[in-house]
Structure 1
Amino acid sequence: MTDPQVALMMLGLFIVFVFLGFPIAFTLMAMGIGFGYYAYFDARRMWRDFDRLDEAAGTWDQWSTWFEGFFNNRIFDLFVNQTFTVMSNEVLTAVPLFLFMGYIVERANIVDRLFSTLNIASKNVPGSLGVAALITCALFATATGIVGAVVTLMGLLALPAMLKARYKPSFASGIICAGGTLGILIPPSIMLIVYAAASNVSIVRLYAGALLPGLTLVGLYLVYVVGRAILQPSSAPRPSADEVPDVPLGKLLVMILTSFLPLAFLILSVLGSILFGLATPTEAASIGALGGMLLAFLYRAMTWQRLRESVYLTVRTTAMVCWLFVGSYTFSAVFSYLGGEHVISEFVQGMNLTPIQFLIMAQFIIFLLGWPLEWSEIIIIFVPIFLPLLAYFEIDPLFFGILVALNLQTSFLTPPMAMSAYYLKGIAPPEVRLTQIFAGVMPFLFCVIVSMVLMYVFPEIVFYLPELFYGG
């Protein structure tokens, strides 16, 4: 068996182990070290140690020498070096800080006030409760970037209110599931930080490039919600005066000032400081974490228990991401050394694809991978397989990254493995069936596909802000 064949077997075994349910990070590390030992094995040195062992009649010193030779394989040096590389990566330093900001904001009791305020402010808009829920999801998802937390919290808060207002269960469920996933696309997105670390693309340019596509997707969602409320009023009945009371303008402004503006200011200050070059992503994330703690204190929601939970969840999630990087770097280094990357590159180049065809094929593969895998595993493990091919097809890695971020919205919305649907089903009232949730997310899935088509047809949507701020 040739080395490239061993590399392909390595990739195939990894996929098998993933579907069997083995922990992905440790599977990557184990297979990287195992196959790496084979790749870097020096047989001549081993036989030389055997000869020395025979001549010495098995003395303890010679046995020690032989064992030292057995473990003196370059894969162990590679593993240590890759671990150090991940831990010293300045881009990844922002991950725990943004995570901490998200977990603190999640526990600051901001969302219920924000939802109530937006519901009152938009009461004259068709589908006002759905619009309020979607905007709340977008802001909260942007501030936290944690899909499960947003869907779960909004499911507890907004879903009962929409069902009580006689909203169709599938329609209400789709709004919450789709809105909860926006945080992995709209900056400051943790997913974009991870992609920047994997692809060496500037995180600042990625944030600038993702802003308009993210707002475009939110706009498509809002158009669908309002349009359906107009065309099918039974799906989203107008609220009565008893359900949404009239509030004087002055009181409404106070509600907006105390609920909407603080969270919006926190997000805009973090994002603006990055985009305008006032702070690095790590520095902006530090300010965001401090701002999240300040909001929690102002809302009288900061307790020792909540702070402890936020720190614990931050450490746990950060460790998962970093060990995924360590395993992926080790696995990909061995895979490339054995010639697997070259085989895949030659195979794809031999298909004589146009750049558009390659993009469609790559996005379709990522779409399928989104069923069994989380976005972090796709970005860290599989996206780097496509990155070396981008230069051949003359595709900008920034454009590719934004398309991947859009595509990964579908991984949370596509049955039968739509994780947003399962998050919502876990806390939804018993009468809301999983099939209804699946039916509700399908129109939003179509909106994601439309937004991807718009990116293909009008790539200026991605490149306009990066070129405006930072040049071509």
Structure 2
Amino acid sequence: MTDPQVAVMMLGIFIIVILLGFPIAFTLMAMGVGFGYYAYYDAERMRSVFDNQIFDLFVNQTYSVMANDVLTAVPLFLFMGYIVERANIVDRLFHTLYISARRIPGSMAVAALLTCAMFATATGIVGAVVTLMGMLAFPAMLKARYDTSFASGVICAGGCLGILIPPSIMLIVYAATSNVSIVKLYAGAIIPGFMLAGLYMAYVIGRAMLNPKLAPKPREEDIEQVSVFQLVIMLLTSFFPLAFLILSVLGAILFGLATPSEAASIGALGGLGLAAAYRSLTWERLRESVYLTVRTSAMVCWLFVGSWVFSSVFSYLGGEALISEFVLGLNLSPLAFLLMAQLIIFLLGWPLEWSEIIIIFVPIFLPLLPFFGIDPLFFGILVALNLQTSFLTPPMAMAAYYLKGVAPPHVQLVTIFKGVLPFLSMILVAMVIMYNFPGVALFLPEYFYGH
């Protein structure tokens, strides 16, 4: 068996093992070290069992991950998200936006999407957004006689926007993987992110107009009567503080006033300030936020360690060259290659989470991008848009399972899946728009940084 064949066998075994449910980070490390021992084995120089270059590689890759400046922003943004999540901001925000949008068809669904978009932007943590909105907005929508599947789709789709809209943790991980500037990635993701949120809202309002039974208009006795002055006060105390925090962080990054890590530090401090202002900053909540931040950051970092060891061995054995030769031998057009890559990522989204896809499988496509003349920045935004589907596509739609975990007992998982499917079509529409008009993703990076 040749080395490239061993590399392909290595990849195949890895896919089978993770489908069986083994921990992905430790599987990567174990297989990287195991196959690396074979790849770097040199009987003439070997003086002991541990005299193999794979152990040096493992130590060096671990140090490289821990010293990566880009990844420093991950725990800081995570901490900002977790502390904001526990600051009791979202319930006020949802209530205020609902009052503001009460004359719009499907007003509560629109308010839920707006709240999800803002909260997802502040946190970037899909599970947290879907769970919290599932406990807050979903029961309110059911009480207002909204169709159960329609309301389910709104919560699940809105909660996934944090994957794409900056400051997205996913984009930080992609930047570390691809060596693309995180600042340019953030600039490129702004228009597509809000375009997708706009498509969601257009769908919700359109469905509510065509079929009012899905989202009944609120009864006059159920509408809280507030004056313009009261509404302004509500916006000033709920919407604008969070919006100011988000815009401050993004503005500092996009205008070059601070690095992503420095801006994330500002965001974390701002999150603490918001929690204190809302009288929600307790020792218990702070301790829990720190614990969740450390746990999630450790998961991401060990995934990077395992992935880089695995990919280094895979490339050394010739697996990367073999895949490149195979793909280039198909004589695909750039569009056909993009479609094939996005289809593979879409299918991988069923059994895997975005972190595994970005860290393990996307690097397989990155060396092929220059051959097809595809901008890695554009490819990254497309992947981020595509990965919305990994949380929404049955039967492994994690957003649906998050919602099911906090939904009333009578809400069936099949009902949630049914509500999610129309929003998948909106994601496809957004991807088609980006395929045909790449400027949607490239305009801001070119305008600000001459990309």
What interval of TM-score do these two structures reach, taking the shorter chain for normalisation?
over 0.9
Q: Which amino acid aligns with 1:2?
A: T
Q: Which amino acid aligns with 1:78?
A: L
Q: Secondary structure at the match of 1:358?
A: helix
Q: CA deviation at 1:129?
A: 0.4
Q: CA deviation at 1:283?
A: 0.3
Aligned to 2:6: 6
Q: CA deviation at 1:353?
A: 0.3
Query: What is the rounded CA distance, in whole Å, between the counterparts of 1:383 and 1:117 in structure 2?
Result: 40
2:138 maps to 1:159:
yes
2:145 maps to 1:145:
no
Q: Which amino acid aligns with 2:402?
A: Y
Aligned to 1:331: 310
Query: What is the rounded CA distance, in whole Å, between the counterparts of 1:207 and 1:45 in structure 2?
Result: 48
Range moving further from structure 2, 296-305 or 426-435: 426-435
Query: What is the rounded CA distance, in whole Å, between the counterparts of 1:389 and 1:112 in structure 2?
Result: 46
2:191 maps to 1:201:
no
Aligned to 1:51: none
2:20 maps to 1:20:
yes
Q: CA deviation at 1:431?
A: 1.6
2:422 maps to 1:443:
yes
Q: Secondary structure at the match of 1:286?
A: helix
Query: What is the rounded CA distance, in whole Å, between the counterparts of 2:57 and 2:109 in structure 1?
Result: 52
Q: CA deviation at 1:80?
A: 0.5
Q: CA deviation at 1:176?
A: 0.2
Q: CA deviation at 1:235?
A: 0.3
Q: What is the aligned counterpart of 1:104 among 83, 89, 94? A: 83
RMSD across aligned positions (CA): 0.6
In structure 2, runs of 5+ residues without a counterpart are: none
Q: Secondary structure at the match of 1:234?
A: coil
Aligned to 2:211: 232
Query: What is the rounded CA distance, in whole Å, between the counterparts of 1:244 and 1:303 in structure 2?
Result: 34
Superposition TM-score, scaled by structure 1 size: 0.95
Q: Which amino acid aligns with 1:192?
A: L
Q: CA deviation at 1:70?
A: 2.2
Q: 1:64-87 CA distances to partner (integer Å, 9 max, x unpaired)? A: xx4xx3211000000000001100
Q: Which amino acid aligns with 2:261?
A: T
Query: What is the rounded CA distance, in whole Å, between the counterparts of 1:321 and 1:150 in structure 2?
Result: 19
Q: Which amino acid aligns with 2:227?
A: P
Superposition TM-score, scaled by structure 2 size: 0.99
Aligned to 2:201: 222
Query: What is the rounded CA distance, in whole Å, between the counterparts of 2:171 and 2:361 in structure 1?
Result: 15
Runs of 4+ in 1 over 3 A off after TM superposition: none
Q: Which amino acid aligns with 2:219?
A: S
Aligned to 1:53: none
2:96 maps to 1:81:
no
Q: Secondary structure at the match of 1:33?
A: helix
Percentage of matched positions with identical amino acids: 75
Q: CA deviation at 1:243?
A: 1.7
Q: What is the aligned counterpart of 2:108 among 125, 129, 139? A: 129
2:11 maps to 1:32:
no
Aligned to 1:302: 281
Query: What is the rounded CA distance, in whole Å, between the counterparts of 1:9 and 1:245 in structure 2?
Result: 63
Aligned to 2:244: 265
Q: CA deviation at 1:433?
A: 1.1
2:434 maps to 1:467:
no
Aligned to 1:340: 319
Q: How many residues align?
A: 451
Matches within 5 A, 1:308-387: 308-387=287-366
Q: 1:300-351 CA distances to partner (integer Å, 9 max, x unpaired)? A: 0000000000000000000000000000000000000000000000000000
Q: What is the aligned counterpart of 1:213 among 168, 181, 192? A: 192
Structure having the higher Rg: 1
Q: CA deviation at 1:242?
A: 2.0
Q: CA deviation at 1:279?
A: 0.5
Q: CA deviation at 1:44?
A: 2.1
Q: 1:411-462 CA distances to partner (integer Å, 9 max, x unpaired)? A: 0000000000010011101121111110101110000000000000000101
Query: What is the rounded CA distance, in whole Å, between the counterparts of 1:315 and 1:467 in structure 2?
Result: 36
Q: Secondary structure at the match of 1:204?
A: helix
In structure 1, runs of 5+ residues without a counterpart are: 47-65
